[in-house]
Structure 1
Amino acid sequence: MKSDRIQLAHGSGGKLSHDLVQEIILPAFANEALSELHDGAKITVQGARLAFTTDSYVVKPLFFPGGDIGKLAVCGTVNDLAMTGALPLYLSAGFIIEEGFLFADLSRIVQSMRAAAEEAGVMIVTGDTKVVEKGAVDGIYLNTAGIGMLMEGTDISPTRVRPGQDILLSGCIGDHGVAVMAGRHNMVLPHTIASDCAPLNGLVKEMLTAVPQIAVLRDPTRGGLATTLNEIAQQAGVGILVEETAIPVRPEVAAVCEMMGFDPLYLANEGKMLIFIDPPYSARLLEIMQGHPYGQEARIIGRVTTAPAGQVGLKTVIGGVRLLDMLVGDQLPRIC
């Protein structure tokens, strides 16, 4: 740690976040369930195989095209459970509210959470509410935790990633990051640009029911696609090569990124996932994904390689290979 104080970039999901976890948090709490560093912990209680996860949401602004902090909190926790191969069941909801916050906005957020939970088929069964002095919180922060049952016959783990596997992406990237940026700066953008925030557990259930051989599922949220691929490459000790022409980005999102100096490969997504699978199963998996509303744009974007271990390469349009490193700074803080 090069500084003696927390910086905003420590919450980016990139290198500084990684350093914070590795150097301060993991040594204090090290255990087998935590050490896998997946989107949720896999635990066994009296023979029942469970997944457990928690997350906090500080997105700014609270309301943005395609969603709000309430929908984001429910979908984010549901998706983290789904990425472990679990069927999400129950959620908690914790509210930290600034004095003076509008009742109308709180009601809108709560109703959004209710609607997202209904779509995902989960129940919010416990929670907590705290109110702090004006200025101590930027409106409202949410914390959600979730528990689910791991699907039988599945084993989702970075340790199962190996050279030769295909890498699938469920759809276009960068939508959420651009939508939040537009809301934050009151930008008028095409109506087609909206957050991709959505619960993916229904799609994941269909995928794992038909193709339980899936090695890894991961949703590329903070730090985006490039950072998530780096995390998996480092955890599995493999190389990764993805094709620039195969990665779907909406033209209008690409145009905004070019104008604002953002790289869509590092922008957060809230309704997309990466899948690592052996090639014989890829065609069947794509068929299932493309038949679901949240996977219609799914495609193969690359493959796992033997070397260089722990690194991610991007085969560019002109045929060269560009190294995709983990996000260092923060393109857009408070994105979720």
Structure 2
Amino acid sequence: MALRDDKVTLSHGGGGKAMRDLIEEVFTAVFEPPGMEDQAVLEAAALAEPGARLAFTTDSFVVTPIEFPGGDIGKIAVCGTVNDLAVGGAVPLWLSAAFIIEEGTEIALLRRVVASMAREAAAAGVRIVTGDTKVVGRGACDTLFVTTSGVGVIPPGRAMGAARVRPGDVAIVNGVLGDHGAAILAARGDLALSTDLQSDCAALGHLMADVLAAAPGAKAARDLTRGGLASALNEIAETAGCGIEIAEEDLPLRAEVVGVCEILGLDPLYLANEGRLVVFVPEAEAAAALSAMRARAEGAGAAVIGRAVEGHVGQVRMRTAFGGARIVDMLVGEQLPRIC
């Protein structure tokens, strides 16, 4: 083992032997990319299928704390990128990963994050095929930032997008909402909250594939990250040119999440999720889609929460438990910074 340092130094980003030792022992030894070139050459039978299309996405992750109940920055990076591809109907295949590392970061922390990424990638059926590392001075970043990009293949004949949603389509979520945001808030320790909540962080590629097999007429899906369910529904309503109605009593929420939100004056509809999505399907396929979700662990708490409607175009309205109604607007500002 050539790497004997306990912490990252500026020499690990200098382009010499120290950098190569860090990359080989911490990253490539775990990810096992095909070769050590400056690019990955991608090959898959799916690419040769007539009518297949490529899907490409990128995202950066700056969560604090780096490790939290139910996950870490590496797990979020893989799951978040896989989910961005999956909700568009793509089969996720390849990821890149770039790391901005603060001088003084513990090598052991890097190893844990990288191992977490490798586990999640294997479970999701994707490969981390290329990447980059940069080391910056103390104070130039907060321990570790990760940027991942993903490439997937959309099979021939599959078309999804918010503009395809029509009145009557049913909205389904795959589980309880707000766990990630509440778990991160509690893990920061600033408010002395005692809770057993864990992040909902999960890759949803396999679940989405099952939903599309059961409900091939699915119109659109969104993963419920920053801005939560409320922001995702508003985006869909605006793009589709219709209204969306949801029912408060149908929303799957843990009592602990509701309690944390009540204490802090937050709305669980806007809390970030890292393993939750909403999908709109024709009413005739809703039961099949719901059953497909519930057959997987990451969809065990799936529920129908509402539908698209003709009225109040571009708005989301919620029927409250008291029989009234309120507008669920787009999130203004940021409830919780550095959440993912």
TM, length-normalised to structure 1: 0.85
**Quick check: 107-116 or 45-54, which moved more?**
45-54
Which runs of 5 or more structure 2 residues have no equivalent in the other structure? 1-46
3-state secondary structure, aligned to 2:158: coil
User: 1:237, CA displacement in angstroms?
Assistant: 1.0
User: 1:212, CA displacement in angstroms?
Assistant: 1.2
User: Residues of 1 paired with 2:64 and 2:279: CA distance?
Assistant: 29
**Quick check: 99-108 or 69-78, which moved more?**
99-108
Q: How does 1:53-202 map to 2 (within 5 A)?
A: 53-185=57-189, 187=192, 189-191=194-196, 193-202=197-206
- The one-letter code of the counterpart of 1:74 is V
1:259 corresponds to:
263
Q: Any idea what the Cα deviations from partners look like across 1:217-267, whole Å, max 9, x if unmatched?
A: 111110011111001111111101100000010011111111121110000
User: Residues of 2 paired with 1:137 and 1:58: CA distance?
Assistant: 9
Contact 1:177–1:269 (CA<8 Å) still a contact in 2?
Answer: yes
Residue 339 (structure 2) pairs with residue 324 (structure 1): no
User: Residues of 2 paired with 1:309 and 1:45: CA distance?
Assistant: 39
User: Residues of 2 paired with 1:153 and 1:197: CA distance?
Assistant: 30
3-state secondary structure, aligned to 2:216: coil
3-state secondary structure, aligned to 2:298: coil
- The one-letter code of the counterpart of 1:170 is N
**Quick check: 77-86 or 149-158, which moved more?**
149-158
User: Residues of 2 paired with 1:114 and 1:290: CA distance?
Assistant: 26
User: Residues of 2 paired with 1:160 and 1:143: CA distance?
Assistant: 30
1:226 corresponds to:
230
User: Residues of 2 paired with 1:278 and 1:238: CA distance?
Assistant: 15
User: 1:189, CA displacement in angstroms?
Assistant: 3.0
- The one-letter code of the counterpart of 2:195 is P
User: Residues of 2 paired with 1:111 and 1:225: CA distance?
Assistant: 30
User: 1:290, CA displacement in angstroms?
Assistant: 1.0
User: Residues of 2 paired with 1:188 and 1:257: CA distance?
Assistant: 12
Q: 2:308 aligns with which of 304, 318, 327?
A: 304
- The one-letter code of the counterpart of 1:321 is A
User: Residues of 1 paired with 2:174 and 2:51: CA distance?
Assistant: 33
User: Residues of 1 paired with 2:51 and 2:98: CA distance?
Assistant: 29
User: 1:102, CA displacement in angstroms?
Assistant: 0.8
1:283 corresponds to:
287
User: Residues of 2 paired with 1:189 and 1:282: CA distance?
Assistant: 38
- The Cα RMSD (Å) is 1.6
Contact 2:224–2:232 (CA<8 Å) still a contact in 1?
Answer: yes
1:34 corresponds to:
none
3-state secondary structure, aligned to 2:75: helix
Q: Any idea what the Cα deviations from partners look like across 1:22-50, whole Å, max 9, x if unmatched?
A: xxxxxxxxxxxxxxxxxxxxx99995411
Greater Rg, structure 1 or structure 2? 2
User: Residues of 2 paired with 1:46 and 1:138: CA distance?
Assistant: 46
- The one-letter code of the counterpart of 2:182 is V
- The one-letter code of the counterpart of 2:216 is P
User: 1:121, CA displacement in angstroms?
Assistant: 1.0
User: Residues of 1 paired with 2:179 and 2:229: CA distance?
Assistant: 12
User: Residues of 1 paired with 2:249 and 2:300: CA distance?
Assistant: 18
User: 1:173, CA displacement in angstroms?
Assistant: 0.4
3-state secondary structure, aligned to 1:276: strand
- The one-letter code of the counterpart of 2:285 is Y
- The one-letter code of the counterpart of 1:72 is I
Percent identical across equivalent pairs? 53
**Quick check: 178-187 or 49-58, which moved more?**
178-187
Q: Any idea what the Cα deviations from partners look like across 1:188-208, whole Å, max 9, x if unmatched?
A: 5332x1000001001111111
User: Residues of 1 paired with 2:54 and 2:108: CA distance?
Assistant: 37
User: Residues of 1 paired with 2:201 and 2:240: CA distance?
Assistant: 28
User: Residues of 2 paired with 1:218 and 1:44: CA distance?
Assistant: 28
User: 1:307, CA displacement in angstroms?
Assistant: 1.7
Contact 1:246–1:301 (CA<8 Å) still a contact in 2?
Answer: yes
